[in-house]
């Protein structure tokens, strides 16, 4: 598809997602969940900046808003990046294998494409960790009238993190580079654990504000 996924109307995007094609799929959704979480964090910060009640924290909120917007832009780009990476995998599997030379070339291309398809959701997981760290800062001074929005942001980030790790793992099963597999499996689990710990703290703070 030449048109960017997030430039589609919502209904058209959902049709693309629901279609009996492999992409866009779970990896793009993981990135979208990250973007949705960040968009809500931007809303929380914007309404904090808008309120005179929180004037003493406006400078901090403005700085965090810039950081969250950068993450949001990353996640939005990752929606298409994940789809493109998976299409590269499918293209590699479609390479000819009628000679030993072509077969070896095909195997190499598949392995490289699988690593590329792993890199996107893994980077989404990394960025979601960063987003939860920013959310922890936000939760210390935010406009409490947006507590449910902050909670919804957290829920979206959690879903994105879990989805991203699943999309990392599904590729690792076909990658032959043991060091690559071990690194991404171990680090992926560690990142998810840290994200979940951050989310638990955030949810406690949100519930206190509701």
Q: Across the 210 residues of the chain, what is the mean pLDDT of every consecutive 10-residue run? A: 82 94 93 98 98 97 98 98 95 95 96 98 98 98 98 98 98 97 98 98 96
pTM for the whole structure: 0.94
Token pair, residue 139, equals: 């939760």
Q: Which of 127, 125, 121, 142 is nearest to 202 (CA)?
A: 142
Cβ neighbors of 115 (< 8 A, separation 6 or more) are 171, 175, 177, 180
Q: Which of 12, 80, 72, 5 is nearest to 44 (CA)?
A: 72
Q: Note the pLDDT of residue 149.
A: 98
Give me the long-range contacts of 57-63 (CB less than 8 A, separation at least 24).
Answer: 57/141, 60/137, 60/141, 61/138, 61/141, 61/142
Evaluate whether 31 touches 78 at the Cβ level (below 8 Å).
yes
Integer Cα distance of 65 and 71 in angstroms: 10
Integer Cα distance of 7 and 1 in angstroms: 12
Integer Cα distance of 128 and 163 in angstroms: 11
Is residue 14 within a helix (H) or strand (E), and if so which, with residue range?
Answer: helix 10-18
Classify each residue of 51-80 as buried b or exposed e, where b means 16 or more C-beta atoms within 10 Å of its C-beta. beebeebbebbeebbebbeebbebbbebbb
CATH number of this structure's domain 27-209, picked from the four choices 1.10.490.10, 1.10.10.10, 3.20.20.70, 1.20.120.680: 1.20.120.680
Q: Note the pLDDT of residue 2.
A: 53
Evaluate whether 122 touches 181 at the Cβ level (below 8 Å).
no
Q: Note the pLDDT of residue 3.
A: 73
Place of tokens 């904090």: 48
């Amino acid at each position: 598809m030449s048109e960017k996924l997030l430039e589609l109307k919502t209904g058209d995007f959902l049709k693309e997602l629901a279609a009996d094609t492999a992409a866009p799929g779970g990896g793009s959704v993981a990135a979208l969940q990250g973007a949705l979480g960040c968009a809500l964090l931007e809303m929380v910060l914007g309404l904090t900046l808008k309120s005179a009640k929180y004037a003493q924290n406006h400078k901090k909120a403005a700085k965090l808003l810039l950081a969250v917007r950068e993450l949001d832009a990353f996640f939005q780009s990752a929606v298409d990046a994940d789809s493109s990476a998976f299409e590269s995998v499918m293209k590699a599997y479609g390479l000819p294998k009628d000679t030993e030379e072509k077969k070896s070339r095909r195997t190499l291309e598949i392995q490289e494409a699988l690593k590329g398809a792993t890199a996107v959701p893994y980077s989404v997981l990394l960025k979601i960790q960063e987003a939860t760290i920013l959310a922890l800062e936000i939760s210390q001074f935010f406009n409490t009238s947006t507590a449910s929005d902050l909670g919804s942001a957290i829920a979206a980030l959690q879903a994105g993190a879990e989805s991203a790790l699943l999309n990392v793992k599904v590729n690792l099963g076909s990658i032959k580079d043991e060091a690559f597999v071990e690194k991404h499996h171990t680090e992926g689990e560690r990142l998810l654990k840290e994200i979940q710990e951050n989310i638990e703290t955030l949810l406690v703070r949100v519930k206190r504000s509701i």
